[in-house]
Every structure is written in structure tokens, then in C-alpha cells.
Amino acid sequence: MPLAHAKLSPSSAHRWTRCTASIKAESAYEDTGSTYAQLGTAMHEVGERCLLNKMDASEFIGEEVEGVVVDKENAEAVQQYVDYVNRIVAETGGELHVEVRLDLSSIAPDTFGTSDVVILDTKGKNIIIVDYKNGRNPVSAVNNEQMKLYALGAYNDFGFIHDFEHVEMHIVQPHVNNFSEDTIEIHDLITWSQWVKEQADKILNDEGVFNPSDKACKWCAHKGNCEALSEHVNKVITGEFANLDELDGNADKLDTDHLKRVLDNADLIEGFVKAVKEVALERLQSGEEIKGYKLVEGRTTRKWRDEAEVEEYLRKRMKVSDLYVKKMIPMTQILKLNKDDKKLQQMLIKPEGAPTLAPESDRRPAITAVKDCFKDLG
């Protein structure tokens, strides 16, 4: 019997392709939305209008779009996206399609995605997908399941008009200066889609299994209540030890392999603990008891009821020199105002940073270990 109301959304494909049980588990949680999602929707609307009507995003500053008043910072971000898309169209001579509903019924019935931009570059035998991200968590286009599903949908809808050979996938994320791209050959896309369909079939037939991972669990609503994730975290942390109690105060006794497993799963573990705390808070607030824990009032600091009122009152009772602190404006602002001042540039220094743990994929060069400094002294 197919699983009713399974929503195999491209935006969450990174989760349901890996953890096929997550769709059913998440269906028990209400999607309350967020101000970030509302802002993203509004900026997508601005981008769509700009591309369709050849407008500048600055024209929307101060205007309310989708319940959000557009400010200068977001308008500038959207304009970078608009310029990016227009540049591709100009360079390729491709045919521009904006906010395109894409057919993904080859993956599952009634499944679709909506791509921000599809550009058909028939000269280069290339379909180009561009996705605007208004958020500040960097997202890579490389091997991105959402983008590959958009690519598949675009090929399903437009593949018949030309002998396309590959799909370019672009993510434009101006707020964090992230412009990422990847390319997939059509035959590789088709092969990949067969695996995705297999995963979708498991979900639709209610045969999903939990498979905890950092990427799958990151935004999952169920993670604070997920037994599979709890077991995975416990196994990673305890390793060869019998239980968590044996680990207390003995982190220095973990062997290198155990340390690596914990480090590899650090974000997953921290995310799970945070989610568990949120679930516990909700349950306590609803009247449920958790042995050893209680609700208390959070710590706060004193603040003025009305700072303007206080300022007006004190200006009559204190000297101006005693009331205000004069300080230099921020360094970035000074450099912006004096960008051609070479002498000022020479006054800048960049102190050496303290040693910091990072994965091998980090772009910064490795620091020589202290013990290596003594190798030549033997």
C-alpha cells in the first residue's frame, strides 16, 4: 500500500534519498515556517519580476513584497543574481525561462519541482539551471540532489526540442559571496535518477529505513526524537568503551581512530543534542515531567525601559562629556572611506591565529606540528 501524502520535494532530496524513513517520520510534525523562509520567498519574487520585466532590484526598495519590506541589502543581493542570469543569457544566446514548474513524475507520481531559472543553450547543447539562495548557510552545487532533480525535470520537459548533452547547475548566494556550479552529463543524470527512483519507491511502499548522517539529519524535524540517530550517536561516542560513564574524564584515553570518528560526526552529535534539548523544553512546557529536570526563568540583564527617555532626562543633569563615550569608527568603515590611502594600508597587521582544528578539506595550509620542529636537532 503506497504511503499517503509522501512529499518528495527536491529541496529535501538530500534527506529522503539517504534516509528513506524520514519522510514518514517528519509527517507527524507541523511545518510552522519561519521569517527566513518568508524573506526568501519575497526575494525570489523580486528576482522573478526583475528578470521578466527587465527591472532593477533597487526599484523595489521600501516596497512590500509577499509581506516583506524590501531593504537595500536584500535588493543588492537579488540584483547580483539577476546580473548573473542575464550574463549567462548574453554569453550563450540561450532561451530564458523563469520560475519553471518541472515534471518529476518519472521519480514518483505527482512529483515536481520549481526551478528559479532554466536557460536552453542549444548552441552549446547545454541546459543551464540557476538557483537563487537568500540564506547565509553556504550551499554547494557540486553533487547537489536538489539541483540534479531540477536538471532531470528540465531534461524531461525540454529534452525533446534539442539533442542536449549536459546540464550546468549554478547556485547564486550573494549574501555569503557563494557562486557555485557543477555539470552533469545527461547519461550520468539518467543513471542517477534510476537510483533516486528506487529510493522513492521504498518511501512510497512504506519500506523506508533510518540512516542517520550529518547531511540527512541537519534540518530534519524528527531528529530530536529519532531512536536511530540516538543509537548512532551513542555508538560513535562510546566506541570501545562499555558506556558513557566510562568515558567521563577520559577523553585523553581515546585512540586516534575513535577520536576521528567523533570528529567526523561532531556536527551531527551537536545538532542531535540541541534538538533533544528543544524537544525536552517543549515537553516540559506542555506539562510533561522529565526526571531530574525542571523549567526555570532564563537569565536576563537589566536594560532601560526607554533609552531615549533616559537620554533626555540625563542631558539635563549631566555634562555631555560625561554622558557620552567618543570612539573611533570601525576599521572596515575607515578603510572604505580611505581605500586609496597607501600609508594607512601599511599600518594594518594580521596577527598569527591560534592553532585550530579543521578537516583536511579546509583551504588553509596545515601548521607544522610542534614535535616536527625538533626533528632536525637530533
Average per-residue pLDDT for the chain: 91
pLDDT at 4 over 70: no
Cβ-count burial 55-70 (b if 16+ within 10 Å, e if not): eebeebbeeebeebeb
Taking only the tens place, the pLDDT of each residue in 319-348 is 988 999 889 999 989 998 998 999 999 999
pLDDT tier for residue 96 given thresholds of 50, 70 and 90: very high
In the block, cell 554622558 appears at 323
Taking only the tens place, the pLDDT of each residue in 205-219 is 999 999 999 989 998
* 212 touches 19 (CB < 8 A): yes
Taking only the tens place, the pLDDT of each residue in 268-322 is 999 999 999 999 999 999 999 999 999 999 999 999 999 999 999 999 999 988 9
Q: What percentage of the chain has pLDDT greater than the value 70?
A: 96
- pLDDT reported for residue 377: 53
Provide the 8-state DSSP code for 21.
T
Taking the C-alpha atoms of residue 376 and residue 312, their distance in angstroms, rounded to an integer, is: 69
Give the 3-state secondary structure of 240-309. Answer: CCCCHHHHCCCHHHCCHHHHHHHHHCHHHHHHHHHHHHHHHHHHHHCCCCCCCCCCCCCCCCCCCCCHHH
pLDDT tier for residue 370 given thresholds of 50, 70 and 90: low
Given phi > 0 = left and psi -120 to 50 = alpha, else beta, which region is 159? alpha
Give me the amino acid identity at 276: V
Domains and CATH numbers, the chain: 10-204 (3.90.320), 214-285 (no CATH)
CA angle 316, 320, 325 (to 5 degrees): 135
- pLDDT reported for residue 1: 33
* 50 touches 78 (CB < 8 A): yes
- pLDDT reported for residue 198: 97
